[in-house]
Amino acid sequence: MDVKSRNCLLMNRQALEKDIKTSYIMDRMISDEVLTLQEEEKVKQQNTQKERAAMLINIILTKDNNSYRSFYNALLHEGYRDLAALLQDGIPAISSGNRKSSMDEITSYVKTILCEGGVPQRPVVFVTRPKLVDAIKQKLCCLGSDPGWVTVYGMAGCGKTVLTAEALRDHQLLEDYFPGGVHWISVGKQDKAGLLIKLQNLCSRLENDSTLSQRPPLNIEEAKDRLRLLMLRKYPRSLLILDDIWDSWVLKAFDNQCQVLITSRDRSVTDAVAGNKYEVHVESGLAHEKGLEILSLFVNMKISELPEQANCLVRECKGSPLVISLIGALLRDFPSRWEYYLKQLQNKQFKRIRKSSSYDYEALDEAMSISVEQLNDNYKDYYKDLSILPKDVKVPTKVLCILWDMETEEVEDILQEFVNKSLLFCDRNGNSFHYYLHDLQLDFLTEKNHNQLPELHKNIVNQYKKYYKLNTPVPSQEDCMYWYNFLAYHMAGANMQKELHDLMFSLDWIKAKTELVGPAHLIHEYVEYSSILDQKNGTVRENFQEFLSLNGHLLGRQPFPDIIQLGLCQPETSEVYQQAKLHAQRETGAFYLEWINKKSLKNLYRLVVRPHRDAVYHACFSKDRQRIASCGADKTLQVFKAESGERLVEISAHDDEILCCAFSADGEFVATCSADKKVKIWNSRTGQCRCVYEEHSEQVNCCQFSNRSGQYLLATCSNDTFIKLWDLNKKYCRNTMMGHVNSVNHCRFSPNDEYVASCSTDGTVKLWEARSANELKSIEIKDFFKNADDQPDDVEVLVKCCSWSRNGDMILVVAKNKLLLFDVKTCDVLTQVIVSHHSTIQYCDFCPGDELVAVALSHCSVELWNIKSLSKVAYCRGHMSWVHCVAFSPDGSLFLTSSDDQTIRIWETKKVCKSSDAVLKSELDVVFHNGEVMILAIYNQKHLQLINGNTDSVNMQTAAQESTISCCCLSEDLKFAAFGQESGTIKVLQLLDGKVLKSREAYRTSVQHCRFTSDCQTLISSAHDSVIQVWNWQLSECVFLRGHKEAIKDFRLLENSKLLSWSFDGTVKVWNITTGNTEKDFACHGGAVLSCAVSPDGSKFSSTSADKTAKIWIFESSSVLHELKGHEACVRCCTFSPNNKLLATGDDKGEIRIWDILTGALLHFCSPVTVDEGEPTHGGWVTDLSFSPDSKMLVSSGGYLKWWNVTTGESLQTFYTNGTNLKSIHVSPNFKVYVTVDNLGILYVLQKL
């Protein structure tokens, strides 16, 4: 643009930006062909009228004089005469010599040069690739005035010719570097006769205005000489373009000290000629959006209007400009054939995709086969071997060394030949090379060699077996990852059923592979190759698949769990268990445990995954049920396969916690919203960010797409009290819904997308019309929460979540601990259910069948309720922490749950509904008697059960008690049992028949502990107060031990009618239980005393405290022997070793310390390793400890069970319970049987193998 015009525009910019509306002005400029559709879209993306005007002026300032004239004329035609008058003085004069053609914005000088030089015109559909065009220009400039070669190389159909021609449409480049013009010659695959004709035609063209018409050259040497003279004398400083060069000998005919640009598939084609050489590599694939743009231009539609098949077509075309253009040209002629051409591509039917007139080869496969035919015969066989390479995988050189049984250098030489001809691609990784094929090349090879593929797969498996024999690759070897990922793929490709069976059903292989790549890929292989693996017996494959699906979240941990121990926890009929047992029996000196009562446990979930490193706040299924998206506190979005948990996409998506994610109805996009106040839209397959919305002023709590496919409407809600609707096709907020007076927690479209429901902390649910954003109805949920006087509860009613019925007639709302079902038309409450008295509801979802409702509760569980019968159908336990989300699959057959424990669990709805919800409390008592393990447990809150741990049978069960049972104990002779209740009542019963012998209303608060004396006649108990009661239940006499100032933590019986008690008041006391007197009083700690232990010889006791210390005391002198410091958290438990030499203490950081009693020195520090962002190896607090009789081993409970070598402090074994928070561990005198209960109420009776 002229300086005068530019200055005039800048001077009047403010007035123009203030007044003009851009839409009609841009229409006129587009019709004048000075403004592109992409530039129009850029302007439209601006938020305000003024910003749109400013963007348009910025664009005009980058253009030429024609743009100024077009803008001036548009102002006149659209009624802005006063503004047009301001620009009149700047109208540039029309020059005849250098005028630009409006068609493609190139000067008439350039147009003439290119036309005379035979440069191809732009294709009918052209999409810019500016980086590559600029790279070609830059290399041409590098030639300067010296002779040399620029090679533009890449595989067939990648766009080399079009990009080269585009680079030449640059006035400045031609004027400054090639004033002699450009001369384009399409060479192609030629023999000598064909090349001579090409040279004759070129010479004839260059001589066309010569007064002396010469005869054509008779041979290539003569033609080369004549061309040299023409270029030197008549066309100095000109550029010769040789398009589609196949052979280096062809170039020798043009090697005459001039400047040449060539396009080729063979990078090494210029090796045979002299001069400076520059290269531009054209990547094999277009970006997905560029592919869509080409299709949209061919069929004359906006990208947003393209049918669903468009995305799939572009993916199948693998980004090849040639293939996309071929398809686009066909669709222009046959607009209804989207599905047809998609199937042809998916089925690799290239011959049916006929040529477009602009390409030289009859069909797509010919374009590829010609390249292969140029190889010599030996190399053709090597190239054929590559037919079995997996897609999108970079293969290390060593894999091919093993395949071909060659040295590295030999293999690299062969592969470099393929790379030079653009038949293969190479990545350098440190000192090694990795090779890969473009998807289209691989598709071509697999189709061409279809009948030989099984044999080729078999060959690579046999070569692997020959090389590794019975060993497996180790991680330090560069080919290791390839074999672990693809050995099964090659075995399946060869249909080697026995070999695949031996590999996939080997615990050694599973252990090695999961340690490297995790379990998801293995699960995927079990599904993928099930038809081969199930030929003999499908049960074995199901055993292994279930084992990995349910233990995958553990196998992702570091240090890696013992897979043999995990296998021993499988059902005894499982092949996994049988293999694990054989391994365990073979390994001498190893420590393994048998879970002897596991038969009663049924797994209700089909997959457990741990995709995040922190709490998982939300997860959802895609509409086709194939994928799951999840997000959470680690600020990432994950997309993985619902069948196997195999990760497909991982995105660091936001700057703060991500609170919600949602799939679009067609599955193409995933929306995320975050505490960083942003909403983002992602391509669900590539992970590319499509757009970012930043209009909310506080954290965004929820995002939800509309239900109709192709209509990208998104609802979001925030702590700023607003709900916003976004149209992805328009890229701006369509409507804002205002009406709530506090944070909006949740929003959902109705099934027909006509309404949006929103839930708020202001105690209301509101229904809005989606089209107009008008509020239709408001329901006061807080009215359903009344206090004892039938007045509204003063406590804030936070409405968490809502869910629509399938037909949209009803809406389910959750607040506090209630489920409320409303009629949408009348707003009348149809049903209300109090789900729990102990926890709040976090989330709910309607099953698509409308009868079932899934409810996520804050106490780690999920419940299914039948909303018609108002009954609880199922209780789902498995999560170890707060459950944030529950969501059904679109068909209702599955539902998923996500939790603070970093896992997502996928459950089968039918299986869950058939289960029972038997749960044991963590308070139990165990007696080891004549080889039998007898367990007294609290069952479903109000029953007492006597369980034989050896047989897992229930010997006795009491009737339901009127009040919840809080603690229990057994007499040593197994004749009596006692239990305390939350009401404060204590009862003694006869184990033979469960008959209650005596009852006493002992306390006003819940009973915490009860124990029989050795003669079974006296029961000692404590509650949430400072008094211990000693009740001779047979004589109905009671002694009260009063002296503690705060609640009793626990007590322990000593010899000679003595009792040791410890309290939250920091003191420990010794009592005479006969007289009720205090015999000794120890002021032990400044904080609560959490545990005490007595030495085997009875002379000492230890105390541990919330003050992070432990102390050893001498009974006789009432003095402290040692104060043990070093713990960094509350010291929760302690125990003396049987040899009277050691004391073990455990704290709330998961650390265990072993001390020398004599000196007070720290001997060992167990569990120093921390993993996964600081998670302790003990999985939480250490709650109980017990030494083996020989004092060489120690068992500890906490998040799970661990066994330790006392001498070294090393871990011997870890037993992962289904739940967590184990309160205690009961150990048999011979240290071979262990009993505990987890927080899910599951009983574990473990026996050392």
List pLDDT tens digits, range 890-929.
999 999 999 988 899 999 888 877 766 567 888 999 999 8
Alpha carbons 11 and 810: distance in angstroms, whole number: 62
Q: Rounded to the nearest 5 degrees, what angle is found at the Cα of 731, between the Cα atoms of 38 and 802?
A: 160
Average pLDDT in the chain: 86
Per the confidence metrics, is the pTM higher than 0.85?
no
pLDDT in tens, 404-459: 999 999 999 999 888 877 788 787 766 678 888 877 778 888 888 999 999 999 99
Percent of the chain with pLDDT over 90: 46
Share of the chain above pLDDT 70, in %: 92
More confident of the two residues 1071 and 443: 1071
Q: What is the pLDDT of residue 424?
A: 82
Which of 166-175, 285-294, 502-511, 1133-1142 reaches the highest mean pLDDT? 1133-1142
Interval 79-104: pLDDT, tens:
677 787 788 777 776 443 343 433 34
Q: Between the CA of residue 486 and those of 479, 493, 526, what are the distances in Å?
A: 11, 10, 13
What pLDDT sits at residue 101?
A: 37
- Is residue 243 over pLDDT 60? yes
Q: Helix/strand/coil (H, E, C) string of 371-420?
A: HHHCCCHHHHHHHHHHHHCCCCCCEEHHHHHHHHCCCHHHHHHHHHHHHH
* pLDDT band, very low/low/confident/very high, at 360 (cuts 50, 70, 90): very low
> What integer pLDDT is reported at residue 505 of this predicted model?
93
The mean-pLDDT minimum among 60-74, 699-713, 804-818, 918-932 falls in 60-74
pLDDT (tens digit per residue) in 385-410: 999 998 878 899 999 999 999 999 99
> Which residue would you say has higher pLDDT here, 1216 or 333?
1216
> pLDDT digits over 658-673, tens only?
999 999 999 999 999 9
Confirm if 734 and 770 have CB atoms less than 8 A apart. no
Most confident of 517-526, 1103-1112, 1216-1225: 1103-1112
Looking at the predicted structure, is the pLDDT value of residue 748 above 70? yes
Q: What is the mean pLDDT of residues 203-209?
A: 74
Identify the pLDDT of residue 99: 38
Distance CA 802, CA 747 (A): 7
CA distance 802 to 765: 8
The string of pLDDT tens digits covering residues 470-480 is 788 888 888 88
Higher pLDDT, 1178 or 470: 470
- The three-class DSSP label of residue 1096 is coil
Take residue 907 and report the two structure tokens written for it.
Answer: 């459950």
Alpha-carbon distance 83 to 14, whole Å?
Answer: 11
Comparing 614-618, 1073-1077, 1164-1168, the range with the smallest average pLDDT is 1164-1168
Spatial separation of the C-alpha atoms in residues 872 and 864, rounded to whole Å: 6
Task: Report the distance separating Cα 67 and Cα 36, nearest Å.
Answer: 11
Q: H-type helices in 79-159, by residue range? A: 81-87, 108-117, 130-143
Those residues whose C-beta lies under 8 Å from the C-beta of residue 1153, and which sit 6 or more positions away, are 1124, 1126, 1127, 1144, 1145, 1162, 1164, 1165, 1166
Task: Give the residue-averaged pLDDT of 1213-1219.
Answer: 89
Q: How do beta strands 239-245 and 182-188 pair?
A: parallel
pLDDT in tens, 834-881: 887 777 888 999 998 768 899 998 777 888 888 888 888 888 888 888
* pLDDT for 362: 45
User: Residue 496: what pLDDT?
Assistant: 93
Q: 739: which DSSP letter?
A: -
884: closest CA among 657, 1039, 669?
Answer: 657
In this prediction, residues 18-36 reach a mean pLDDT of 77
Checking if the pLDDT of 209 tops 60, the result is no
Count the helix, strand and coil residues of the chain and give each as a percent rounded to the nearest 5. 30, 30, 40
Cα(156)–Cα(542) distance, rounded to whole angstroms? 45
**Distance set, CA 850 to CA 426, 707, 810, 833 (Å):** 55, 17, 10, 16
Residue 482 to residue 473: CA distance in whole angstroms: 10
Residue 113: band (very low, low, confident or very high) from pLDDT cuts 50, 70, 90: confident
- Is a pLDDT exceeding 50 seen at residue 1176? no
Copy the structure tokens of residue 200.
Answer: 């004759």
